[in-house]
């Protein structure tokens, strides 16, 4: 190996890590609700087409750029053409913005997991009714669990590519799948669960005719966030992949696995809400409020605590394997810089530096209590109150503000620019050559050529427009 950046031990390990990055909170609290609320089976059809055409293409582009250059987001663009380094910087910026709030949420998931565990051992895991509302205003609690979750990330990422990220993902992801199956089967046995499947799957093809643009933008936005695309995460993970591994098939396996887990999450969450008559929703309300009520009050008793623990534990795994990939994007940036200067990577030190910066950047998302504000007992106000801005999705809390900058602007822009650069500047031949480096012919060249040049830029422009208008509309 020509440098000491690190490398995946096996293709299986790489796939577990990449699927681990893709499978996250987005699958569990975003996909099920959006699917059900935007046409069910009809949404699913649009989602599958987008994932197959746009998702696979951007995935291939990122993996190929990463492996070809052997660098993370910034280094990869810099080595292709110095003047495009800024595209890589956009990715690292997104990483910083997301890893903070993602870890605040991860900390909450950890708190809920422990809550059910304490209940199981006869303690009182959750103090009051309406725990969610009181917890998000509990500043020492929110910040403390945020710090613990960040520490878990640090320990894993410090372990290195194969010794930390891969090792953890190879155990965690099969565990996640197994627990998911248990929860799905158990939920399926609850009376009244059927309504949940109907909500999720029964196609409403009427919406395709009446509101096609809405279905398209919702599906496309969900798809690229869920696949961890547009911020150099897959560039970074691809940079640790051996030349002999098949890029094209990996670019298909990851989206397929991610979509299967999203559907499985839907089959756990929506029928559970249906069985206990809880409102369907999306985001923190669904994950922390409705689902907690399902286990605590709906199922109740020991079985409720067991299932609650298992459910939150699987969400915890999903959150960790995603947030380590976000932190790795930031760390790889520093490590590459050091290697280019002929220094040792000093991974442990670089991980701590990046995690501390990310922690500080993310702190406001914990301190405003997800928009609870000082008036509601939090220690900081949301951007709307702080800067006297109109109240809209992007200013209602710091989490959504960061999410707006990253998921709303930087990521779709990043994916769009990458596709245009590959299609029109670097040339799609570069992708073909990188794929063929594994010794297999790249059969779908013509198809990907059209995708990179025309289809992906157009769809990503739609996503960009849709995200910006929904955040500031
Ligand atoms: N794919 C993750 C999810 O669905 O929750 C989120 C994510 C992780 C986005 C890593 C981007 C990324 F680089």
How confident is the model over 382-411, as pLDDT tens digits? 999 999 999 999 999 999 999 999 999 999
CB 448 within 8 Å of CB 433: no
pLDDT at 293 over 60: yes
Q: φ and ψ at 461, to 5 degrees? A: -65, -40
pLDDT value at position 188? 96
pLDDT value at position 378? 96
Q: Answer with the residue of higher pLDDT: 178 or 208.
A: 178
pLDDT value at position 127? 79
Read off the tokens for 19: 């699927």
What's the CA gap between 291 and 284, in Å, rounded? Answer: 10
**pTM, to two decimals:** 0.96
* CA 233 to ligand 1 centroid distance, Å: 9
pLDDT at 113 over 90: yes
Contact 236 CB / ligand 1 (< 6 Å)? no
Read off the tokens for 210: 């009446």
What is the mean predicted confidence (pLDDT) over 126-141? 91
pLDDT > 90: percent of the chain: 88
What is the mean predicted confidence (pLDDT) over 69-87? 97
pLDDT value at position 3? 59
What does the pLDDT look like over 159-187, one tens digit per residue? 999 999 999 999 999 999 999 999 999 99
pLDDT value at position 437? 95
Cα 72 to the chain's mean position, in Å?
A: 18
Read off the tokens for 177: 């799948």
Give the atom of ligand 1 at the shortest distance from the alpha carbon of 325: 10
Other Cβ atoms less than 10 A from the Cβ of 216: the count is 21
Smallest Cα–Cα separation from 163: which of 424, 351, 338? 351
What's the CA gap between 362 and 399, in Å, rounded? Answer: 8
End-to-end C-alpha distance for the chain, whole angstroms:
50
Tell me how many degrees the CA angle 321-322-327 measures, rounded to the nearest 5: 100
Give the atom of ligand 1 at the shortest distance from the alpha carbon of 24: 5
The domains of the chain, with CATH numbers, are: 11-472 (1.20.1740)
pLDDT category at 130 given cuts 50, 70, 90 is confident
Q: Residue whose CA is closest, atom 11 of ligand 1?
A: 228
pLDDT at 287 over 80: yes
**Average pLDDT over all residues of the chain:** 95
What's the CA gap between 85 and 108, in Å, rounded? Answer: 35
- Which mutation among 228, 405, 406, 411 tests ligand 1's pocket best, with the greatest number of atoms within 8 A of CB? 228
CB 252 within 8 Å of CB 443: no
- Which mutation among 225, 254, 286, 407 tests ligand 1's pocket best, with the greatest number of atoms within 8 A of CB? 225
What is the mean predicted confidence (pLDDT) over 445-453? 97
Scan for tokens 């990253």, then name that residue: 406
What is the mean predicted confidence (pLDDT) over 139-147? 98
pLDDT at 105 over 50: yes
What is the mean predicted confidence (pLDDT) over 283-292? 89
What's the CA gap between 462 and 451, in Å, rounded? Answer: 15
- Which mutation among 326, 327, 399, 411 tests ligand 1's pocket best, with the greatest number of atoms within 8 A of CB? 326
Read off the tokens for 186: 């158990």
Q: Angle of helix 11-22 relative to helix 301-340, nearest 10 degrees?
A: 110
Cα 190 to the chain's mean position, in Å?
A: 30
What is the mean predicted confidence (pLDDT) over 435-449? 94
Contact 159 CB / ligand 1 (< 6 Å)? no
* CA 375 to ligand 1 centroid distance, Å: 32
Largest CA distance in the chain: 64
Contact 20 CB / ligand 1 (< 6 Å)? no
What's the CA gap between 271 and 298, in Å, rounded? Answer: 12
pLDDT at 473 over 80: no
What's the CA gap between 2 and 435, in Å, rounded? Answer: 20
Tell me how many degrees the CA angle 445-451-456 measures, rounded to the nearest 5: 150
CB 133 within 8 Å of CB 292: no
What's the CA gap between 131 and 141, in Å, rounded? Answer: 12
**CA-based radius of gyration for the chain:** 21
Q: Which long-range contacts (C-beta less than 8 Å, at least 24 apart) are formed by 242-247?
A: 242/7, 242/8, 242/11, 243/67, 243/437, 243/438, 244/438, 244/439, 245/11, 245/14, 245/438, 246/11, 246/435, 246/438, 246/440, 247/60, 247/63, 247/64, 247/67, 247/434, 247/435, 247/438
What does the pLDDT look like over 321-352, one tens digit per residue? 999 999 999 999 999 999 999 999 999 999 99
pLDDT value at position 1? 40
pLDDT category at 2 given cuts 50, 70, 90 is very low
What's the CA gap between 225 and 258, in Å, rounded? Answer: 11
């Amino acid at each position: 190996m020509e440098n000491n950046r690190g490398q995946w031990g096996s293709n299986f390990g790489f796939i577990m890590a990449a699927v681990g990055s893709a499978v996250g909170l987005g699958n569990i609290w975003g996909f099920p609700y959006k699917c059900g609320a935007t046409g069910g089976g009809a949404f699913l059809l649009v989602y599958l087409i987008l994932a197959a055409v746009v998702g696979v293409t951007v995935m291939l582009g990122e993996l190929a750029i990463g492996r070809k250059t052997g660098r993370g987001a910034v280094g990869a663009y810099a080595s292709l053409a110095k003047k495009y380094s800024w595209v890589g910087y956009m990715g690292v910026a997104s990483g910083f913005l997301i890893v903070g709030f993602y870890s605040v949420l991860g900390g909450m998931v950890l708190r809920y997991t422990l809550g059910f565990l304490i209940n199981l051992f006869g303690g009182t895991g959750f103090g009051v009714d309406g725990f969610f509302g009181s917890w998000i205003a509990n500043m020492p609690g929110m910040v403390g669990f945020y710090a613990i979750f960040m520490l878990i990330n640090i320990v894993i990422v410090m372990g290195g590519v194969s010794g930390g990220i891969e090792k953890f993902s190879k155990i965690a992801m099969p565990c996640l799948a197994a627990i998911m199956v248990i929860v799905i089967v158990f939920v399926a046995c609850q009376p009244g669960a059927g309504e949940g499947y109907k909500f999720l799957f029964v196609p409403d093809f009427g919406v395709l005719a009446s509101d096609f643009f809405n279905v398209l933008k919702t599906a496309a936005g969900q798809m690229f966030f869920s696949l961890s695309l547009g911020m150099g995460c897959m560039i970074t993970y691809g940079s640790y992949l051996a030349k002999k591994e098949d890029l094209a098939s990996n670019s298909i396996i990851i989206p397929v696995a991610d979509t299967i887990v999203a559907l499985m999450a839907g089959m756990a969450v929506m029928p559970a809400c249906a069985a206990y008559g809880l409102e369907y929703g999306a985001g923190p309300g669904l994950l922390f409020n409705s689902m907690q009520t399902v286990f605590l009050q709906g199922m109740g008793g020991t079985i409720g605590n067991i299932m609650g623990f298992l459910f939150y534990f699987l969400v915890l795994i999903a959150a960790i394997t995603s947030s380590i990939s976000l932190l790795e994007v930031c760390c790889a940036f520093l490590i590459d810089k050091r290697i280019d200067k002929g220094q040792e990577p000093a991974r442990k030190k670089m991980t701590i530096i990046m995690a501390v910066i990310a922690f500080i950047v993310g702190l406001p998302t914990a301190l405003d209590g997800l928009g609870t504000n000082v008036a509601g007992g939090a220690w900081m106000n949301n951007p709307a109150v702080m800067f006297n801005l109109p109240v809209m999705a992007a200013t209602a809390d710091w989490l959504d503000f960061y999410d707006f900058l990253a998921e709303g602007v930087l990521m779709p822009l990043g994916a769009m620019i990458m596709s245009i650069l590959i299609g029109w500047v670097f040339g799609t031949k570069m992708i073909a050559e990188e794929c063929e480096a594994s010794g297999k012919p790249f059969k779908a060249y013509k198809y990907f050529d059209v995708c990179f040049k025309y289809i992906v830029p157009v769809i990503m422009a739609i996503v960009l427009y849709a995200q910006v208008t929904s955040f500031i509309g």
